[in-house]
Structures are given as C-alpha cells and as structure tokens.
Structure 1
Amino acid sequence: MSAPAIRVEGRVKRFGGHTVVDHVSMTVNSGQITGFLGPNGSGKTTVMRVVCGLLTPDEGTGEVLGRPLGSETAAIKHEIGYMTQRFSLYEDLTIAENLSFVAGLYGIAGRRRVVADTLETLGLSSRRDQLAGTLSGGWKQRLALAACTMHKPKLLLLDEPTAGVDPKARRDFWEEIHHFAASGMTVLVSTHYMDEAERCHFVNYISYGRLVASGTVQEVIDKAGLTTYLIEGPIEAVNQAERMLRGHAGVDDVAPFGTTLHVVGRDPAALKSAVEKVAAETGTRRFTTETSLEDAFIRFMGESQDNMA
C-alpha cells in the first residue's frame, strides 16, 4: 500500500485557555474519501487548518503527502486544495475571471486552456460569463470546487462543502468528489449529513476536540454498541408509545420517523423488555432493525463533554 496522505500524532491546538484539538491522532489513506464527523465546535475546521499549514499546532507531529508539517508547509500548500465553509471567491468577477485569477496564483502554465478545461469538466462552460455573486448556493459550491482542484492537487480538503445547498446539488457535488477520488486524489471532507458520511470509504468522528471513533461506517456503528428497534402502528398508539418509552430503563433514545419510532439502547436485554412491554400495552408492532450512523453519532455526542463549557 502507498504511504498515508495524512498522518498526525498527538496534535494539540489551544486558543487562550481552551484546548480546541486535544491530542488527535489520525491517518488518512491515499486515494480514499475520508469523512470527518463531529458537532459544531468539535475541532474539525481547526484540524483541517493545521493539516494545510494555516495554523501552527501547540503539540504533536505530522506528515502530509510524505512531507513533515512545519518544516515543509510551503511545499505542502502547492499540493493540496482547500475549500472553506464560506464562499471565498470574488463575487464581482465572472466565473471565468475567478478561475483565471486562481490559476495565476498557482502559476499554472497555459492558463486559458486550463480554465476552459476546468469549466467543461465541472459543467460551468455555459455560465462562464456569469458574475459569481449571482450564482445559487449549489453553483457557488461547484465554482469553489473548480477553483481548488484546477491545479490538480494530490489532497483535497473540503470543510462542510454542501451546507445549505439543495439535495440535487449535493448529489451532483458528491459525484464530482468520487470522480476525483477515482482519479487518485485523496479527499478529506467534513460534514454533518449522515447520508454524505455513508458515501465515504472511511470516517473519523471527533467530539469536542477528541477523536472518539475511526473506521469504516459499519465499524463506527459497531463501536457504538447499540441495539435498535422500530415501533409502528396507528399514529395515536405510536405517540403513546413514544411518551411511555422516554426515560424508560434500557432506552437511551427515542426518535419519531414519520409513523414509526426509532428506539435505541446499549443494554439489549433491558431495551427488549421495555419495547415488548410498551408495544403490548399500546397495541403497536415492534421489529429489530439496523443501527444507523446517525444513532452512533448521537450516542458519541451524548457521552462527550463540551470542551468550551
């Protein structure tokens, strides 16, 4: 196997008296799409900024694309693409003008040809003369992706790239991400969307500065150690079951999904007893089902302590 694209050990970053990243050790394998999950304020963006050399860590070591962080940060920056949460291109320039400007910053030879190829690859040719500020959220994200990939980086860092865009734009965006990964590019993407995390080859879950789970989606779900039931029936009966199950011994979480209930717990025997009792008393039906990544997400959040509290 090739060397990891990112390897960090014991990374710590403090702001004032708060430890925002707390001894994070993480590996991102080359050629894979790695998801970075965690609640707001968990340290995802800070870790990304450390990886791309925008922030200097207080402790720990790391390598990016085989180069040590710190001593070769300038060289690393030329081999990565970084897409921030907020749209950061010039809104009073056209799409083509923005890409031409970025190509100049990277010193790309044959700038006009590269811009034309980039526009064509990401389906932006018909909008080349449109002002960036007039684009919808989805098209702005596509332009930002074009800008950070036109120099053919080896590593792509995407910080919540589809926040606020519609489902169709999100799906199109992810098709492009998989296209880049298939060409050999490594991708590290932070997201709050569980369906997006499930598109990743590997996921890391960070909660309030600490990495609490890593692995494939199934491995992370298994680590949560949860059992899950579905309860279904008439709406009134399901609503009654929800009220009865909340706070019941063995039940960690109850979530309505349309006309069903999603009931989760860590103690299989106690959960089964609670679900069977409530189902019998309310006349509802209960079935075991697969635990979702969202269930694991909520479990890890519930066990973590806010490092900024």
Structure 2
Amino acid sequence: MQHGSPNGSPNGSLNGTPAIDVHNLNKHFGDKHVVNDVTLQVAHGEIFGFLGPNGSGKTTSIRLMCGLLTPDSGSGTCLGYDIVRESAQIKRNVGYMTQRFSFWEDMTIRENLDFVARIYQMRERKEKVDRALENLGLKTRADQLTGALSGGWKQRLALAACMLHEPKLLLLDEPTAGVDPTARRDFWEELHRLAAQGISVLVSTHYMDEAERCHKLAYIAYGKLLAQGTAQQVIDSQDLATWSIHGERLTELSEQLRKTPGVDQTVVFGSALHVSGHDHAALEKAIRQTTSGMPVRIEPIETGLEDVFIYMMSRSADNYGKAA
C-alpha cells in the first residue's frame, strides 16, 4: 500500500514554526570550511532530502541542526529549541540513524531494542519495544539473531531503534546505502507513513529515485547550499534544456559535443546520450550540425533531476573545489 506522496502536502508547521529553521550556519575543521552559510527550513510532516557528493558537508550540517555539533556562527531552532543553548532537549526528541549499522549481532532484534530502551531509561519499556516491532514489521523476526539479518532487515531494526522514544524528527544519514531496491522501496513507504503522522524527516541520499520521493530537496557541495525546493523547482532553477540522442558510438559523440559552443553538459544514460545547455537555440543548432548525416535519433526531452545534479556537481567542483 502506498503511504503518502512526494506531491502531497506535508502537515505544515506547528503553530507556524518549522521543525527545523536554521540561518547562516558555518563550521570549520582546521582551515577547511565544511559548512558555509547554510540556511534552510523543514516543515512538520515533511520529508526533506539532502543531496550532494561525498565530503560535501551533508553529515556535518545534519549534526549542526540537531545540536550534536556547535556551529562557529549562525543560529536556528530544531523543534522549537535553540540549536546551541538547548541541544539536550533536541536530542530527546530526535531519532538519528547513522550510515554505520551499530547494533549487536549476537543479540536478537528484541534484545537489541530492549537494550536501547534500557540505556535511555524508558518507562513502559516492554510496551515500547513491542510497538516498535509491530510498526516496523519485525514481530515475526523478534527472536532472530541480528547477525543473520539481511541489509534490509537490519535497516528496519535501526529505524525501529530510532523510533523507540517516539521522536518528532528523524535525521537519517544515507540510510539505504547498500540495501536492495525492494528493501529501499519498503523503507520509503514507511517514511511516508511516518510523515503522514506529522513526523519530520531529514534524509541524505545519493539515489535520484529517492530524491524524487521527497517533498523538498537541498543540494550541497563543498559546504555551500546550491539549490533547494521541490524537485521541479530545483530542476527549473538551473534553466537547462536537454536533448536525447540514440544511436551508436555515443561516447565518441559525447566527447565531440562537449567541445561544441552551446553545449554545457553531455552524459551517457544507458543507450541514450543526454546533451544539455542554457542557450536553447545554440544547443539545438550544435546538436543538429554535429549529428548531421549520422545514423542517430535526436529529440528534445524534459530535463531530469539527475541531469541537474550532475550539472551542479561538475560546476561546484569547478567553482569551489580548489578553494575547498
């Protein structure tokens, strides 16, 4: 059953206040500026995707927003609490799922959840563990050793542990890395179910299909937030026209087009070559002249999210890579 939609409206703000509202966050590690003037808002009940290449500042930004790290400058609130002065209150209301699976493999699913509940001194511990097992579909596997679980089931266990204390906000750091497509789909079904209950989700991901399932997105590179909004708003912000070319020897054609005025980007997608540019007329002229007489099929297509992210990634490396 489909739970929620990236096109559906989230539940909005509680009393007009976003779940996350941060302004001009900065963080240095030594002489490296890893988070550079990041400003964003996440509404209650919203799934907000955080995208960018490895080392772009995603994880550090997430930790700043939930009070796990203190910014060098900037301000903001998370769930109405100040991210600098009230980090302890934030942590009590946030579920944080890291990239690394960190549960005991020689314990059962139930034992792992019970152990987490004991650490946090939760009241009604058994009831909370039972509810987490039920909600995440883990009940029939509750007594199975964690070490014997597949990646998808380990992922469910990690999410169940995040949800034990009934947080109002989930921070998920590349939670589906290394998980098969079916498990990833099921995981996102669960995220939309939680969002429909008013829980906010900030999730970092490398997968374009996951990005398209978010209510809103932000793209960060070299610590700078380059674009944010709905998937369509992010696509529109770059004003790229794109053509698709089908035929043989696409790699050679890609290299040739890349040197042609009017062409800003060429990317091979399977049996098709996507060619993008800002000057729509110059782009079409370049493609038609270069492919004239060649046994290829050309057609204009809608610019996709992946076209845009590849473009932003290459331009951010050119603009900020050396400085970083």
Q: Distance in 2 between matches of 1:145 and 1:201?
A: 20
Indicate which of 127, 137, 140 corresponds to 1:123.
137
Q: Which residue of 1 aligns with 2:165?
A: 151
Aligned to 2:20: 6
How many angstroms apart in 1 are the aligned matches of 2:252 and 2:26? 47
CA distance in 2, matches of 1:145, 1:198: 21
Q: How does the TM-score come out when normalised to structure 1?
A: 0.95
**Does residue 223 of structure 2 align to residue 209 of structure 1?**
yes
Q: What is the distance in 2 between the residues matched to 1:214 and 1:246?
A: 27
Amino acid at match of 1:93: M
Q: CA deviation at 1:159?
A: 0.5
The residue that corresponds to 1:275 in the other structure is: 287
1:301 aligns with 2:313: yes
- Structure 2 residue matching 1:273: 3-state secondary structure: helix
Which of 163, 180, 183 is the aligned partner of 2:194?
180
One-letter code aligned to 1:221:
I
Pairing partner for 2:153 from 127, 131, 139? 139
Correspondence for 1:94? 108
User: What secondary structure, in the 3-state scheme, does the structure 2 residue paired with 1:70 have?
Assistant: coil
Is residue 20–residue 307 contact of structure 1 (8 Å, CA) maintained in 2? no
Alignment of 1:161-200 (within 5 A): 161-200=175-214
* 2:267 alignment partner AA: A
Q: Does 2:300 match 1:285?
A: no
| Deviation (angstroms), 1:106 | 3.0
The letter for the 2-side match of 1:266 is H
Moved more, 174-183 or 133-142: 133-142
2:301 is aligned with what amino acid? T
User: Equivalents in 2 of 1:267, 1:67: separation in Å?
Assistant: 46
User: How far has the Cα of 1:259 moved from its partner?
Assistant: 2.3
**3-state SS of paired residue (1:21):** strand
Query: Gapped runs of 5+ residues in structure 2?
Result: 1-11
Deviation at 1:239, TM superposition (A): 5.3
Task: Write the letter of the residue equivalent to 1:172.
Answer: D
Please list the CA deviations of residues 162-215 of structure 1 after superposition, one character each: whole Å capped at 9, or x if unmatched. Answer: 011110110011001001001110000000111100000001111110111111
Q: Could you tell me which of 242, 263, 266 is aligned with 2:254?
A: 242
Which residue among 78, 103, 107 is the counterpart of 2:92?
A: 78
Structure 1 ranges of 4+ moved more than 4 A? none
**In the aligned structure 2, how far is the partner of 1:169 from the partner of 1:308?**
39
What SS does structure 2 have at the residue aligned with 1:282? coil
SS at 2:213's partner residue?
coil
Q: Tell me which of 57, 63, 70 is aligned to 1:49.
A: 63
> Structure 1 241/65 Cα, relative in aligned 2: closer, same or farther at 3 Å?
same
| In structure 2, C-alpha distance between the alignment counterparts of 1:208 and 1:260, rounded to whole Å | 30
- Alignment map for 1:10-21 (pairs within 5 Å): 10-21=24-35
The amino acid that maps onto 1:261 is L
Q: Distance in 1 between matches of 2:251 and 2:53?
A: 29
Identity over aligned pairs, percent: 56
Relative to the length of structure 2, the TM-score reads 0.91
TM superposition shift of 1:29: 1.2
CA contact (8 A) 1:241 1:282 kept: no
Say which SS state the counterpart of residue 25 (structure 2) adopts: strand
Give the aligned partner of residue 255 of structure 1: 267
Unaligned ranges ≥5, structure 1: none
- Counterpart CA distance in 2 for 1:54 and 1:80 is 11
Q: Which amino acid aligns with 2:321?
A: D
What is the SS of the residue equivalent to 2:293? helix
